[in-house]
Structure 1
Amino acid sequence: MVKARTSAAELVGSGHVRVNGEREKSPGHAIKIGDVITVALDRTVRVLKVTGFSERRGDAAAARVLFEELSEAKRN
């Protein structure tokens, strides 16, 4: 969604992120497998279901296998 942790924290701080339908206020909130994350970004809304975690940070391709896209905006 964004390239840097600081950008992600700014999205949370500005109220653009929901976890399981509740507006998230803390960038450090723990996420679990099965949580649904809603992000308003660039005039679109993406809804993602967390399906896994990685031991280490990786590129965008590696991250794509860790969530299921539920929103219509990015489905092909």
Structure 2
Amino acid sequence: MRIDKLLWQLRLVKTRSIAQALVGQGHIRRNGQRVVRASQDIIAGDTLTIPLPGGVQVIEIAALPTRRGPAAEAQACYRVLDPTRQTAIAGQKDQSPERGQLP
């Protein structure tokens, strides 16, 4: 299945054109390798790293969807690998203790 169609059917993006733009910008990775074209095939078991407005999401594809159905049906097709969804954006305050202080 094409990656742009997969992202749309899994309800990770609203339209296929948005998915194609994400791929075109070179921000999506499949099994650690950058995806360079929207027609890239995805199979069950692949790991995708996707930058979304809420942060970077890492998912494992459990099954390929057959349609763009309800959200519950779409979520059953993948597993989130980083459930804490911590952002790695520069400038955010770090929660680590100050130098010289004990944790």
Measured against the shorter chain, the TM-score band is: 0.7 to 0.9
Distance 2:67 2:53 in 1: 27
Task: Show CA shifts across 1:32-56 (max 9, x none).
Answer: 1100000112261100000002222
- Structure richer in strand, relative to its length: 1
Equivalent pairs, count: 74
Residue 85 of structure 2 is aligned to residue 73 of structure 1 = yes
Q: Of the two, which has the highest radius of gyration?
A: 2
List runs of 5+ in structure 2 lacking aligned partners: 1-11, 87-103
Distance 2:61 2:74 in 1: 10
Matches within 5 A, 1:34-53: 34-42=45-53, 44-53=55-64
Matches within 5 A, 1:1-76: 1-42=12-53, 44-71=55-82, 72-73=84-85
Q: Which runs of 4+ in 1 moved over 6 A?
A: none
Partner SS, residue 51 of structure 2:
strand
The answer to whether the 8 A contact 1:16-1:41 is kept is no
The TM-score normalised by the length of structure 1 is: 0.86
The TM-score normalised by the length of structure 2 is: 0.66
List runs of 5+ in structure 1 lacking aligned partners: none
Aligned CA-pair RMSD:
1.6
